[in-house]
């Protein structure tokens, strides 16, 4: 069951850890298994300084994609994309084309989160497989501890490339 979200335990990743491929949820949960889950704070939108908080795990990207992740984050660094509240349609279209051509993934449903420093990717089994050689359960909710008497609940899984923000 998700716990009350308190962001005091969220920490910023250091620049040496960026770009990072992150599987996350917006609320604190009791996670199970051996993966390391952490509260992550991240600043985005260039000089807009938007703050994002999530609970996630850093994934190991496929080696052949590491340079492409870096290219995406460097392309948008210092763009101030999203500073005015959201990215423009032209920016989203350009980002989507980069994802499709460079990584073979999409942001068809996740694009509203796109801005400098945070690069959403549709979170599904196919995209996870394409981006990381790690093993994932069929249902990502299997990462979360639940008591048998609890009703299944909807967890909004997110998949991001987190990159530097110019400010």
CB 116 within 8 A of CB 45: yes
Interval 129-139: pLDDT, tens: 999 999 999 89
Domain count within the chain: 1
Interval 72-111: pLDDT, tens: 999 999 999 999 889 999 999 999 999 999 999 999 999 9
Token couple for 161: 């490339």
**Within 13 A of 135's CA, how many CA atoms are on the CB side?**
4
Interval 139-163: pLDDT, tens: 998 898 876 555 555 678 999 999 9
Residue 2 lies in a domain: no
Residue 167 lies in a domain: no
Domain that holds residue 145: 7-162
Q: How far apart are the C-alpha atoms of 25 and 10, rounded to whole Å? A: 13
Q: How far apart are the C-alpha atoms of 26 and 155, rounded to whole Å? A: 9
Res 8: pLDDT: 85
Q: Does residue 1 register a pLDDT over 50?
A: no
């Amino acid at each position: 069951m998700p716990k009350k979200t308190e962001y005091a335990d969220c920490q910023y990743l250091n620049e040496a850890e960026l770009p990072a491929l992150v599987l996350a949820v917006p609320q604190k949960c009791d996670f199970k298994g051996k993966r390391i889950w952490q509260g992550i704070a991240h600043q985005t939108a260039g000089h807009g300084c938007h703050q994002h908080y999530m609970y996630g795990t850093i994934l190991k990207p496929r080696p052949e994609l590491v340079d492409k992740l870096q290219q995406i984050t460097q392309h948008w660094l210092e763009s101030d994309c999203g500073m005015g509240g959201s990215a423009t349609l032209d920016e989203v279209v350009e980002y989507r084309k980069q994802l499709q051509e460079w990584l073979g993934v999409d942001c068809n449903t996740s694009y509203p989160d796109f801005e400098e420093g945070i690069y959403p990717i549709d979170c599904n089994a196919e995209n996870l497989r394409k981006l990381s050689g790690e093993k994932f359960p069929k249902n990502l909710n299997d990462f979360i501890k639940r008591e048998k008497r609890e009703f299944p609940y909807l967890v909004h899984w997110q998949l991001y490339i987190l990159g530097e923000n110019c400010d």
